[in-house]
Structure 1
Amino acid sequence: MQIEYFLLIDRILDLRLDEKTITVEAKVPTESTIFEGHFPGYPIMPGVLLIESMAQTSGWLLLALMKFERMPFLAAVKEAKMRGFVSPGEVLTVEANVLHEGSGYAITEARVKVDGKLRSNATLTFSHVPFPNPELRGHMDAVAERVGFPQQALQR
């Protein structure tokens, strides 16, 4: 997890296009300037970053389902719930699945777990558009390689 660059996913563990599901992993850094203020003496991962980790996880699933032809952008967060604290050094397992697709939008539900225990969940809505420029597409290709995106998923 590289919080300072908003890269919150370390690696893709499982991607099942037929089931429209994905599981990723991310290790919360043990030190970050974010923890200096959130909160002194009791550092916890901000809820907004847990939501962003669920959004990024869902985004990778949608990118795969759209065969990297369209870029998903977070449009709405519904029913986000923080169910427990996430501390520096913990390993997140983030899961997402598609609830609905159509008309330029997709809805996913996602969960953040630590050691199998639910810490956060949300229903997320995305709009998606063709990649706006080659630079963004190239950046996403590079990040896909870094997180171990299974290229064979695009061959279907």
Structure 2
Amino acid sequence: MRLEYFQMVDRIEAMDLDAGTITCRAVVPMQSPVFEGHFPGHPLMPGVLLLECMAQTGGHLILARNGYEKMAFLAQADRAKFRSFIVPGDVLEAHSKLTHEGSGYAVCEARLLKDGKTVADAEIRYRVVPFPSLELKEQMLGFVRTLGHPDVA
């Protein structure tokens, strides 16, 4: 993870475009300015960043399902639950399953696991639109190649 850059996913472990599922790996860094304020002497991963990790996982699935021509932007999060504290060095497994796609929106059921146990989950809604600029598209495609996206042009 690169928290300061909101790059929450380190690697795509598995993706099934037909089934609409994805599994990603995210390792919480040992050091980050985020932990200086959250909380001094007792660093915890902020819940909002756990939600972002789940959102990015589903976003990678939606990006691939749309042939890398459309991007998913977080629009809404429902029923988010944070069940356990996450600390520097924790290794997370992020899962997302597409439950709706169409009319410019997509919805995923997402969850984060640590040591096989669910630590967070949420329903995430995305607005799916063409890339707003060629520069953003090129930057995004360059980044997703490093994560193990399938068939990136």
Please give the TM-score of this superposition, normalised by the length of structure 2: 0.97
Tell me by how many angstroms 1:18 deviates.
1.3
Tell me by how many angstroms 1:41 deviates.
1.8
Stretches of structure 2 that go unaligned for 5 or more consecutive residues are none
Percent of counterpart pairs with the same letter? 49
Q: Distance in 2 between matches of 1:40 and 1:129?
A: 40
Partner residue of 1:78? 78
Give CA-to-partner distance per residue, 1:67-87, whole Å, 9 cap, x none: 111111100010100010111
Give CA-to-partner distance per residue, 1:26-79, whole Å, 9 cap, x none: 110001111111112211100000000000000000001111111111000101
User: Does the residue aligned with 1:136 lie in a helix, a strand or coil?
Assistant: helix
Q: How many residues align?
A: 153
Stretches of structure 1 that go unaligned for 5 or more consecutive residues are none
Q: Distance in 1 between matches of 2:11 and 2:28?
A: 13
Partner residue of 2:13? 13
Matched, 1:88 2:88: yes
Q: Distance in 2 between matches of 1:2 and 1:138?
A: 19
Partner residue of 2:30? 30
User: Does the residue aligned with 1:151 lie in a helix, a strand or coil?
Assistant: coil
Partner residue of 1:147? 147
Give CA-to-partner distance per residue, 1:81-121, whole Å, 9 cap, x none: 00101110011100000111111101101001111111100
Matched, 1:106 2:101: no
Please give the TM-score of this superposition, normalised by the length of structure 1: 0.95
